[in-house]
């Protein structure tokens, strides 16, 4: 839960959520489901916009936190591939930061198609870890450590496939937007960098000395205000 709160509270997170709402383009009173809702930040904001929102997440602890944040919404503990919703019952479907956790996005997108009414809007997306940029004096080593970051997720490059998956599922008027978060505060993602370096060592991609040297450089960059990471998130919208 602390990780979810930290991610949604990071600079740029609110702008990303707002961009997804603009792509949904739903009017007051419309029904919308937020799949993989986490602690309910988006659900609460969509409720304030006058939407009838249902939040879905497989984690009961996350759903409990979301209920407290958005008491005016409906929630279910469920998997994205088996939604407890009626056919054609939703005007909008939103799912971000979900697809890198799934082995196969097809069942989830098929469920989205089922629960959306004809003409309904879908917005899906997330980070594609193959596009993450981190400045370093040793860029080759950095690229290998980025592979360590990718190894910590089930489908680290799933976001780039979502346009194809939506088209194959029968959605149309597909649009792809890129929301770019620029991070210059090392402390904001220091934990993720340490985890990426540790994963690269575990996968025998680099040595522990390599990891220690790289992390020390990134820490020095942080102290000297020379740290830079660029984190693109793909937002893919379409119509049912």
Output the pTM of the full model. 0.91
Share of the chain above pLDDT 90, in %: 92
Encode pLDDT of 195-207 as tens digits.
Answer: 999 999 999 999 9
Is residue 1 within 8 Å of residue 39, measured between CB atoms? Answer: yes
Is residue 34 within 8 Å of residue 95, measured between CB atoms? Answer: yes
Encode pLDDT of 172-187 as tens digits.
Answer: 999 999 999 999 999 9
> Is residue 37 classed exposed, middle or buried when 0-12, 13-18 and 19+ CB atoms within 10 A define those classes?
buried
Angle (CA) 86 169 111, round 5°: 25
pLDDT category of residue 91 using cuts at 50, 70 and 90: very high
Fold of 2-239: Rossmann fold (3.40.50)
Mean pLDDT (whole number) for 106-129: 97
Q: Helix or strand or coil: residue 123?
A: strand
Q: Compute the distance between CA of residue 239 and CA of residue 84 in angstroms, rounded to an integer.
A: 21
């Amino acid at each position: 839960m602390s990780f979810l709160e930290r991610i949604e509270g990071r600079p740029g997170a609110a702008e990303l959520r707002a961009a997804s709402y603009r792509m949904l383009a739903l009017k007051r009173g419309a029904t919308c489901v937020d799949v993989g809702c986490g602690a309910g930040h988006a659900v609460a904001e969509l409720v304030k916009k006058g939407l009838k929102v249902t939040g879905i997440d497989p984690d009961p602890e996350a759903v409990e936190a979301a209920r407290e944040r958005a008491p005016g919404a409906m929630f279910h503990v469920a998997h994205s591939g088996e939604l407890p919703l009626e056919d054609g019952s939703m005007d909008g479907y939103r799912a971000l930061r979900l697809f890198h956790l799934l082995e196969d996005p097809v069942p989830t997108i098929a469920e989205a198609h089922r629960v959306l009414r004809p003409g309904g809007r879908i917005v899906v997306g997330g980070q594609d870890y193959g596009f993450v940029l981190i400045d370093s004096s040793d860029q080759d080593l950095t690229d290998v450590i980025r592979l360590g970051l990718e190894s910590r997720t089930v489908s680290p490059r799933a976001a780039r496939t979502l346009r194809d998956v939506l088209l194959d599922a029968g959605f149309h008027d597909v649009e792809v937007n890129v929301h770019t978060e620029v991070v210059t505060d090392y402390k904001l993602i220091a934990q993720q960098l340490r985890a990426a370096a540790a994963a690269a060592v575990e996968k025998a991609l680099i040595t522990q000395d390599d990891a220690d040297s790289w992390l020390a450089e990134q820490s020095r960059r942080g102290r000297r205000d020379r740290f830079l990471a660029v984190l693109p998130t793909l937002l893919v919208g379409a119509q049912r």
